[in-house]
Structure 1
Amino acid sequence: MLKDLTIKKKLFILSVLVASALLILFAIQLYSVKKVGQLEKISFQSYQAEADMLMLRRHEKDFLARNDLKYQVRFNEHLQLMLANLFELSDKLESTNADQYQLSQQIIDIINEYGTAFNELVELQQQIGLDHETGLNGSLRQSVHKVEEILEAESSDTLLKDMLTLRRNEKDFMLRLDAKYIDKFNTNIQHFRQDLNASFISSDRKTAIRQALANYEKDFLALTHGVANKGFSANEGKLGKMRGIIHRSEMTLTDLQTAIRVDIPQQVQRIQVFSGVLSLILSIVIVSFIVLLGRGINRSISALYETMIDANKSKDLTARATIDSDDEIGQMAQAYNDMTASFQKLINEVITSAHTVSSAAEELSIITGQTSQGVMNQQTSTEQVATAMNEMTATVQEVAKNAANAALTSQEADKETEHGKQVVSLSVSGIKELASMVKTNAAAISDLQIESDNIGTVLTVIQGIAEQTNLLALNAAIEAARAGESGRGFAVVADEVRTLAQKSQQSTEEIKTIIERLQSGANKCVEGMLQGQDMATESVSQAESAGHSLAIITERVMAIRDMNTHIATAAEEQSAVAEDVNRNISQIALIADENATSTSQTTETSQSLTELANDLQRLVNQFKV
């Protein structure tokens, strides 16, 4: 399947695999960090529960030491915080470890039990009395004071002594919390009753004392009962019960902390093992794909390389790369096959052409040899004809020289006559041309005068237009002045127009003055031209008379010159023909020499061409086609 894909697509798939692996590893890392963070949170919350427990114990001790209800409030508030922390911890443990979850539930139950026990203890302490004026302590004090008031009123030393003994038993009990002082109190109160019966106090007073003493006894026994329920020591009563609850909570909390402390490294290790195994699997998959991809590419490149090396060594143009893939290397192999096919076709054509060139070179060499022999024969004949023509040319030149001298003398006379005629003709022509030019100039100046008059007429019209424009601008300025502020801009324009009209009128006056001067000068020129025309006409007549006389002389001289010219011309023509023949023969000889040289060069070239054709054929025969 991979061989049908291009390298670009293969690399894209590899990039997608690597990116997916990185995303998976990143997700695993996030999960690991989240899981470790959750475990650390669980560990922290377990230790936070221990700290909360110590804080509850502190509030408990503060209440037991000071009997202040504010410590109950603080205890309950911190109890709620601790329970919230434990519930959160329990929720996390429920999804991670069942045993730890059970321990957390036990701790929650124990803490709730601890809170209930503490609040019951506070309630019992309130019944006993938070101080000496409240609860059973307050009732006991009031009863004692009632008995003491009655006894002090009776002034009975024996009963007062007995009462002090009871108070000592009471204080000993409250200070030492020992049950033996209850027995002593019961014994001494019986002794007090005996002394009361034996006293001389009236019956009514005895009844009052007995009633007050009974209340005192009842309150003391109620107090001792309450203290007994609370606990004479930390291991008895509600104190003992609460102590047992605390010990159970501490043990359970310690077990939970130990379990969490042992479990966290194990879970972290499991996460690390899972991450490592998955990373290893992804790495193996990616490396395997890279190796497979690289092996396929390397195999194709090696096959193409070996094909090209073998073809280069053996000069075999029939060798073709056999790569069965649609990627870039397959396309490159196909391009190489197409190129070698083109080279094969080209070499075949070159071989055919080399054979053709070799055959043609051999034929050309034969023909060139024959041509060289003919050129050498032509060169010999041409040299003989040239010698004869040189002798004839010398004779003709001698005749032509004598005829030329006679013709030269006639020509000199004719030239002088002709020169005089030409001078007269030139004079006549010049005078005629001068007369014509004078006439033409006179006509042109007349036309110029007429045009000047026309320009004066146009200037008159322009001057009238300028005056009308000036009047219109003046009227516009007056209308603008009437318009006031709204016509100020139009007034400015009108002033500018009037100024331009005035300048146009001034310029027209200046042009009119110049044209008048031009017309005056033109009139003078016309008069001068007319006089020159008359003088030129008279000179033409005189020159024509002189030219007629020279024409007659020229006719006589020309007759003599023509006869000498015919003789000289015939001799010159004969000499020229002889020279042309001699020159042509010389050129023929020169061309024959050049042909001989060219034929020799052609022979050498044909031989070189034959050698080159043989070399080309030998070179192309190296290739296997």
Structure 2
Amino acid sequence: MPAEAFRDLWQTLKSGRPWSGIVKNRRKNGDHYWVKATATPLADGSGYMSVRIKASRQEIEAADQLYKRMQSDASIRLQEGHLARGGMVMRIAGWLADLPITRRVVLLNVLAGLLFVASISIGLRGFDESRAAWHEMQQEQIAGKLSGTSIEQARRTAEQHYEQAALAFGVLGLIGVFGFGGITLLTLHHIRRSVDVATGFVDGIAGGNLIGTLPTVGRDEVSQLIVKLAVMRNNLHELIALIHNEVARMAANSESLNTVASETRESANDQSGLATTMAAAVEQLSVSVDQIGDHARETHEASELSSQHAQLGAAVISGTADEMSSIAQAVTTSAEAVDALSVLSKNVSMIVGVINDIAEQTNLLALNAAIEAARAGESGRGFAVVADEVRKLAERTALSTKEITGIIAKTQGATEQATSEMRQVVDRVQRGVALASDAGSSISSISDSATSVLRAVEGINYSLAEQGTAAREIAQQVEKLAQGSEFNFQRATVIQSAAGDVHKLLKELQTHAAKFRIT
């Protein structure tokens, strides 16, 4: 961009005029882009407003060529974004075009008046010269100084002066008439052209075209009107652009609001249903708490009874353990007696063994005596009889000892079995005593636990009473919550309806705003 463009821009804005032109901007990365900018000063004088739209390829090419020429030729000047007029005639024409209409009308009247005065002055001067020539001719004729030829020449001279004066008067009159008419027509044409430009500019704005090219205007009243219209168009462009952006943002927000309102409505409906269900559940919970309280009281009574029975059972088991200890002691004593009997049976068995040995020896001795008696013959017959009786007695003794030995053996076996069983009984009784002792300890623990259960049940009763009160309060609060949820559902329905209406209004506003062309 040449420096002349920026000089013209700031000078135009400082003078309160709009500036329109093709601007080449540079990006931070070094690239550039072209825009068609229209800058207008703000009404309060605090700054300016610039409306920038995309420039066409033809506008870009023309501006690029102009700016290249300006870089090489510093004499090229800009005026309000356009190429300034060159040459004296164009400058005078531009100066006349920039004059206000009132000044142009005053100038037209002044010029017409000057031409009228000049024509009258020249005409009167010619008439005076003609009249003077006639008067001189008449004086000389009266004095007899003029001949016929001189009179004719004087008459012709007077007529010539008259004709010259009339011609000058006519020419100046025609010049005044045609000059006044021409200037009037030019003024009217300029006014009509300015009005047509203003009308076309206004028609474009009325048709929604807010990006039209700002026409080249002068400084007359119609041009000032176009300048004000340009400022109004820029303000309207900014307003419509702001409306476009805000409506788009509000449309997105309204859609979000509509969605949120719908979700809120559904959530409020679900919340209302959940609150109703919760209220019923809390009511059922309150009933259940009351039932649990009843069961807890029954449990308290059963726990008291169990504690009493546990204490009674502990006493019974303690007595049973004592009795079992006595039984164990008696069985132990019996076992000791049976053991002593077993020892005696063994002693008897030993004695029976000795007797059996004696019987066997006696039997041998009897047999030897019988043999010796047989040897003795008749003299030993009596001894043989005795020996035979002794042998029989020895045999009976041996048989008896065998029977006694068998009985003693059975007795010893029974004694040993009884001893073993008594020992087992003693062991079982001792284990029973231990178990009874453990049972007593367990019963004591049960009793202690039952006491703890009683205290816990009492605490449960107290807690259940508080929970019952809290459950009823919760039921009341949940009922209020259900009512609030129903109210929220109704309000959410209203909000959703309002959001829908706002969305429709924004759509209509978008439709109306789309009628204005800003890009």
What's the TM-score bracket when you normalise by the shorter of the two chains?
A: 0.3 to 0.5
Of structures 1 and 2, the one scoring higher in RCO (CA 8 A, sep 6+) is: 2
Give the TM-score normalised by structure 2. Answer: 0.39
Q: Which structure carries more strand by proportion?
A: 2
Q: Which structure carries more helix by proportion?
A: 1
Give the TM-score normalised by structure 1. Answer: 0.33
